[in-house]
């Protein structure tokens, strides 16, 4: 980590699940080890026992504490109360850096940071979209409102941090070139994540790991599984691992289509346990920014099949044979067949391990982030 005074850093986000939570945990650990003081403010109504265990693991690195309160997913009158409570909590912590993640977290960090600045507090305000608002259609009424709010909030922003070039380009297309400072810093993994995880003796052919909602494509995975079985001419096996609002719908689909014994449905679990279930990870998302599951799967030595969305082509390569079109179950099945029938498909298709590790390490990510924090603070 570069030289610079220790900072008091508070990360604000809504839901402590998925990639945003992983991103913040990695930053918190790396920055804490470098001598900074770090805290988290997030929603108290989402998450499961799995997320509770993740909070327990990260607590030793949170010298500014963990602060949880109800923060609704959609915009509503309850946001006023949440903002006021957040303001009092954050003011007492006297942070140097407020870093908001996702649409709600970004709004909280920038609005409250600006209120503190008005009272002559020295605090820098950062925002990482992580997809979020960028998934909205700019031709819809709701999309126009959300994207206009993003444009307005640039006035309250010291820097926007994009996690991949795709996210930056999407922001420029839907909102415009940022009128504040901005930087692209890739997500990264800790050294301990770069270790091959062998499959168990009772492993399945394919696994899906992630949020159980249509945006992430579990329904496409189920359809593609059916096509893959027909193409190879014999029964296969798969697991869907995760939690989310559409879980019951997927369970019904699996049972109705007669896959009850061939597609299992398991709750969220530590990623190392999930990866031991198969050598092939399928990421069938309809939209993404830079999903951690892609980086984690490659770091664990897994074969990865993913949709051509977000920053995924920046990881696998724009012309990778592992990429498929989003929402296209037949295209996904085509590659799933290749992965289980082509000798050394993994070696011929996956990125070279050393080059991948050099580009997507958590230490590099955290160092670049701390540099940006100090740079923007030096301007106040």
Do the Cβ atoms of 106 and 128 come closer than 8 Å?
Answer: yes
Q: How many CB atoms lie within 10 A of CB 207?
A: 27
Confidence of residue 2 (pLDDT cuts 50, 70, 90): very low
State pLDDT tens for residues 8-21. Answer: 999 999 989 878 99
* CA separation for the pair 348, 326 (Å, rounded): 23
State pLDDT tens for residues 287-328. Answer: 888 889 999 999 999 999 999 999 999 999 999 999 999 999
* CA separation for the pair 157, 109 (Å, rounded): 9
Confidence of residue 47 (pLDDT cuts 50, 70, 90): confident
State pLDDT tens for residues 208-244. Answer: 999 999 999 999 999 999 999 999 999 999 999 999 9
Buried b (16+ CB within 10 A) or exposed e, 38-54: bbbbbbeebbeeebeeb
Buried b (16+ CB within 10 A) or exposed e, 73-84: eeeeeebeebee
In the predicted model, what is the mean pLDDT of residues 40-64?
A: 93
pTM: 0.82
Residue 1 pLDDT exceeds 50 = no
Q: Domains plus CATH for the chain?
A: 8-188+361-377 (3.40.50.2000), 193-359 (3.40.50.2000)
Confidence of residue 84 (pLDDT cuts 50, 70, 90): confident
DSSP state of 131: S
Instruction: For 301-337, give the secondary structure using H, E and C.
Output: CCEEEEECCCCHHHHHCCCCCCEECCCCHHHHHHHHH
* CA separation for the pair 370, 159 (Å, rounded): 12
Which residue is associated with the tokens 């050394």?
A: 344
State pLDDT tens for residues 154-164. Answer: 999 999 999 99
Sheet holding 65-69, edge to edge: 65-69, 37-43, 8-12, 97-101, 124-128, 159-162, 181-184
* CA separation for the pair 331, 281 (Å, rounded): 16
Count CA atoms within 13 Å of residue 205 on its CB side: 22
* CA separation for the pair 112, 89 (Å, rounded): 10
Nearest Cα to 99, choosing from 11, 37, 29?
11
Gap between the terminal Cα atoms of the chain: 22
* CA separation for the pair 316, 305 (Å, rounded): 10
Confidence of residue 76 (pLDDT cuts 50, 70, 90): low
């Amino acid at each position: 980590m570069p030289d610079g005074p220790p900072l008091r850093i508070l990360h604000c986000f809504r839901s402590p699940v998925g990639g945003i939570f992983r991103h913040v945990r990695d930053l918190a650990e790396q920055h804490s080890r470098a001598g900074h003081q770090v805290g988290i403010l997030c929603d108290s109504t989402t998450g499961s026992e799995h997320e509770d265990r993740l909070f327990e693991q990260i607590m030793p690195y949170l010298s500014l504490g963990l602060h949880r309160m109800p923060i609704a997913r959609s915009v509503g009158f309850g946001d006023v109360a949440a903002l006021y409570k957040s303001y009092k909590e954050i003011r007492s912590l006297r942070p140097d850096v407020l870093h908001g993640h996702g649409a709600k977290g970004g709004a909280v960090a920038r609005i409250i940071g600006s209120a503190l600045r008005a009272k002559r507090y020295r605090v820098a305000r950062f925002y990482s979209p992580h997809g979020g608002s960028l998934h909205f259609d700019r031709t819809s009424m709701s999309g126009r409102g959300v994207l206009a709010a993003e444009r307005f909030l640039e006035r309250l922003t010291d820097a926007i941090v994009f996690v991949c070039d795709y996210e930056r380009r999407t922001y420029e297309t839907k909102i415009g070139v940022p009128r504040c400072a901005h930087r692209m810093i890739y997500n990264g993994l800790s050294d301990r994540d770069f270790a091959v995880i062998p499959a168990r003796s009772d492993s399945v052919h394919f696994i899906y790991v992630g949020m159980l909602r249509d945006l992430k494509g579990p329904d496409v995975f189920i359809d593609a599984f059916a096509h893959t079985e027909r193409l190879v001419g014999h029964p296969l096996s798969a697991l869907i691992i995760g939690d989310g609002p559409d879980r019951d719908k997927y369970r019904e689909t699996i049972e109705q289509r007669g896959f009850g014994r061939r597609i299992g449905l398991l709750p969220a679990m530590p990623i190392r346990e999930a990866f031991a279930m198969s050598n092939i990870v399928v990421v069938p998302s309809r939209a993404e920014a830079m999903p951690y599951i892609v980086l984690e799967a490659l770091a664990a030595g897994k074969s990865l099949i993913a949709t051509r969305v977000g920053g995924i082509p920046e990881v696998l390569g724009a012309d990778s044979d592992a990429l498929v079109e989003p929402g296209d179950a037949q295209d996904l099945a085509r590659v799933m067949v290749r992965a289980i029938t082509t000798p050394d498909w993994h070696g011929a298709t996956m990125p070279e391990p050393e080059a991948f590790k050099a580009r997507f390490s958590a230490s590099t990510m955290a160092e670049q982030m701390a540099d940006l924090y100090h740079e923007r603070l030096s301007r106040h």
